[in-house]
């Protein structure tokens, strides 16, 4: 690929990766241009760029996937290079080719390399020819349902269905038996087509409880290639990584050298230029198998940067400008241990359902490296990936790094939108992870142990107290005695998925007494600021951070993040919310990608009726009760908001 000096870089991405690339580009003296959708008009990456250009409406197809609009933005601002970040168009050969045709330097590999490795079927053929071990499977042209089922039986269940053009777990399904295969195949194709514009899939033999190990590689235009060690990405949900670390607890120096040599061999066979990652499955016997190659910078690249002391974005920029790799293989060193967690706006206790909305209070720990693009009051749109931040720790040992990351996560404040913060902390604390034994089956095997702990009665008392004193009409809380007559205030609220009823009484000495189910807790508000409360509970002085948004109160206390819904003045909730009234409601903001029933169909309770897509993932909605489909209120392609009725079931008999 032709390389030449450049002076201004357009970053064809959003959020934390746009800011990350911007930081290094500025340090090296480049001008930076941002692009944005209407959802990101006031985003930090837009405000901090030298110039910014609107692309279009929030849906990616109308903004961050619009090649023509991005090329036009580069021309209008005088940018002479484009950095794609990751996701969106980062591995799109048409985008790389379009940049090349108009004279823009694409900061990444050639269109030919992206095309060769972007198709999983073709990539496996190339890797096999290069001597890289591959997972047995099927990557043939016959995509018919019967042919795919026949090949799945030949391979032997369980099998993995994978989108040829995909990544990040989208278009991927684990199928354990032939009966489930047709529905899983349809779902994988649908999700792949929506995410990548290509519903083609391949099949692979599912390897039991493997490690997911990836090797970071770099090549340049001078025939040089190196690897920067491995990262262990085994802790995943929905085949998407949540925790990454380096070095891997399962990789010995000998295995690292062997995997690194294979990866470098593959890079040289491709005449590859720029950053890339070869991803492998490592079984219990130490055998590794190629899965795919990502022809871009990875989300987890800070882990490698922490270990090597290198700036991988700087390497990308230098290679794109035609320079040779800064170091030879023998000059690359590794120091200590690094771990990264992905903080996502999702509900880990409800199948990792994506969450969108306003982040009322946002504050990240200063002791860790944190990559993010949020601030208090920012809106998290439903159109993009659920990852909102990355927290990275580095220590002399794995245990030191793990302890630092746990402490940092507990200090992180993210109130207003449900996140997986507490879930990540539970993962890091779990004995299996602490012992370095986590495989890709870790979350499934320990799901119940990783759930949020039950809410303690003292925390319920604190919630009742904060709900009262944070109310906009509440009188200022003053310490000391009161001459006012004492009257108990009844409170009704939902916390931890359970409705609680309490009575709150302020005593004449200024303390509060909270009564719930016959138990009493005495509390004292020592100080109350805009978002911080100092409260004495059972004689112990404690701190809590909180944010109020209408009838909802968000509290972080003792490492737990709680959402409290004030129901004191609300009517009692009926069975309607659970679909018991025959109405299926959208569980989240999203786009309808499949209507699975039609009016007049008989359905059973729990039967799938509709599929929504949000934050690049599909979410199946089911009938709450048995009955007949009376009406379908939406069509494929419609955008719906949380709570909207999408399907109605009449003449139902409760199951």
Question: Rounded distance, CA 232 to CA 247, Å?
Answer: 7
Task: Say what angle helices 111-118 and 93-101 make with each other, to 10 degrees.
Answer: 170
- Catalytic residue of the set 170, 173, 296, 585: 296
| Token digits of residue 254 | 């000998």
Question: Rounded distance, CA 126 to CA 119, Å?
Answer: 11
Cβ-count burial of 331 within 10 angstroms (0-12 exposed, 13-18 middle, 19+ buried)? exposed
Does the annotation mark 4 as catalytic? no
Closest Cα partner for 373 from 66, 13, 8? 13
Question: What size, in residues, is the chain?
Answer: 655
- Interior CA angle at 555 toward 552 and 560, to 5°? 130
The neighbour count for residue 323, using CB atoms within 10 Å, is 15
Closest Cα partner for 587 from 575, 595, 579? 579
Closest Cα partner for 228 from 168, 311, 113? 311
Sign of CA dihedral 345, 174, 216, 438: positive
Name the DSSP letter for residue 417.
Answer: S
Q: SS3 letters for 52-115?
A: EEEEECCCHHHCCCCHHHHHHHHHHHCCCEEECCCCCCCCCHHHHHHHHHCCCEECCCCHHHHH
Provide the Cα torsion 236, 121, 265, 219; round to 10°: -80
**Distance set, CA 248 to CA 62, 234, 289, 544 (Å):** 40, 10, 16, 36
Residue showing tokens 């849906």? 59
Residue showing tokens 């899939």? 201
In angstroms and rounded to an integer, the radius of gyration of the C-alpha atoms of the chain is 26
| SS3 category, 268 | helix
Question: Rounded distance, CA 512 to CA 524, Å?
Answer: 6
| SS3 category, 317 | helix
Question: Rounded distance, CA 293 to CA 273, Å?
Answer: 13
Query: Is the N-terminal amide bond of 285 cis, ω within 30° of 0?
Result: no
User: Across-strand partners of 344?
Assistant: 387
Question: Rounded distance, CA 317 to CA 29, Å?
Answer: 11
Q: Which residues are catalytic?
A: 296
């Amino acid at each position: 690929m032709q390389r030449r000096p450049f002076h201004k870089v357009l970053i064809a991405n959003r959020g934390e990766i746009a800011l990350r690339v911007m930081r290094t580009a500025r340090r090296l003296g480049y001008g930076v241009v941002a692009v944005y959708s209407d959802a990101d008009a006031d985003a930090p990456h837009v405000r901090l760029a030298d110039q910014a250009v609107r692309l279009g409406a929030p849906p990616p197809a109308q903004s961050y996937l619009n090649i023509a609009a991005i090329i036009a933005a580069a021309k209008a601002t005088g940018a002479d290079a484009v950095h794609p970040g990751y996701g969106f168009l980062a591995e799109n050969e048409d985008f790389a080719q379009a940049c090349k045709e108009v004279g823009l330097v694409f900061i990444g590999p050639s269109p030919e390399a992206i095309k060769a490795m972007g198709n999983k079927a073709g990539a496996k053929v190339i890797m096999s020819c290069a001597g890289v071990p591959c997972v047995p499977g099927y990557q043939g042209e016959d995509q018919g349902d019967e042919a795919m089922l026949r090949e799945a039986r030949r391979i032997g269940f369980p099998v993995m269905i994978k989108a040829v053009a995909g990544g990040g777990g989208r278009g991927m399904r684990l199928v354990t038996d032939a009966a489930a295969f047709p529905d899983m195949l349809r779902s994988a194709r649908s999700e792949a087509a929506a995410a990548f514009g290509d519903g083609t899939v391949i099949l692979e033999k599912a390897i039991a409880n493997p490690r997911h190990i990836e090797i970071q590689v770099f090549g340049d235009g001078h025939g040089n290639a190196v690897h920067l060690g491995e990262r262990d990405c085994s802790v995943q949900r929905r085949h998407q990584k949540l925790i990454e670390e380096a070095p891997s607890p399962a990789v010995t120096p000998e295995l690292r050298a062997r995997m690194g040599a294979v990866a470098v061999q593959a890079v040289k066979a491709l005449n590859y230029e720029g950053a890339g990652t070869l991803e492998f499955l490592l079984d219990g016997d130490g055998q590794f198998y190629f899965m795919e190659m990502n022809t871009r910078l990875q989300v987890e690249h800070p882990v490698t940067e922490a270990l090597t002391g290198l700036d991988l974005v700087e390497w990308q920029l230098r290679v794109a400008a035609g320079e040779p790799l800064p170091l030879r293989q023998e000059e690359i060193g590794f120091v200590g241990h690094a771990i990264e967690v992905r903080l996502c706006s999702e509900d880990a206790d409800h199948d990792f359902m994506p969450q969108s909305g306003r982040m009322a209070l946002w504050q990240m720990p200063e002791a860790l490296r944190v990559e993010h693009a949020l601030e208090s009051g920012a809106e998290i749109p439903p159109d993009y990936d659920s990852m909102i931040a990355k927290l990275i720790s580095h220590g002399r040992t794995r245990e030191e790094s793990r302890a630092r990351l746990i402490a940092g996560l507990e200090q992180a404040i993210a109130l207003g939108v449900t996140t997986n913060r507490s879930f990540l902390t539970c993962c890091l604390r779990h004995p299996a992870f602490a012992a370095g034994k986590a495989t890709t089956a870790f979350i499934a095997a320990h799901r119940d142990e990783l759930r949020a702990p039950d809410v303690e009665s003292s925390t319920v008392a604190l919630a009742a107290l904060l709900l009262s004193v944070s109310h906009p009409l509440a009188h200022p809380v003053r310490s000391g005695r009161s001459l006012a007559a004492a009257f108990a205030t009844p409170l009704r609220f939902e916390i931890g998925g359970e409705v609680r009823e309490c009575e709150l009484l302020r005593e004449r000495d200024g303390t509060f007494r909270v009564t719930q189910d016959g138990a009493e807790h005495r509390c004292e508000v020592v100080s109350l600021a805009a978002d911080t409360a100092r409260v004495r509970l059972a004689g112990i002085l404690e701190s809590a951070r909180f944010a109020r948004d209408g009838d909802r109160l968000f509290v972080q206390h003792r490492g737990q993040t709680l959402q409290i819904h004030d129901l004191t003045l609300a009517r009692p909730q009926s069975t309607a919310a659970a679909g018991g009234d025959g109405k299926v409601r959208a569980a989240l903001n999203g786009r309808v990608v499949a209507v699975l029933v039609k009016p007049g169909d008989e359905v059973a309770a729990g039967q799938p009726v509709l599929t929504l897509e949000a934050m690049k993932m599909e979410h199946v909605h089911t009938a709450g009760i048995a009955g007949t489909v009376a009406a379908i209120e939406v069509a494929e392609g419609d955008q719906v908001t949380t709570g909207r009725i999408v399907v109605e079931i009449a003449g139902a008999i409760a199951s």
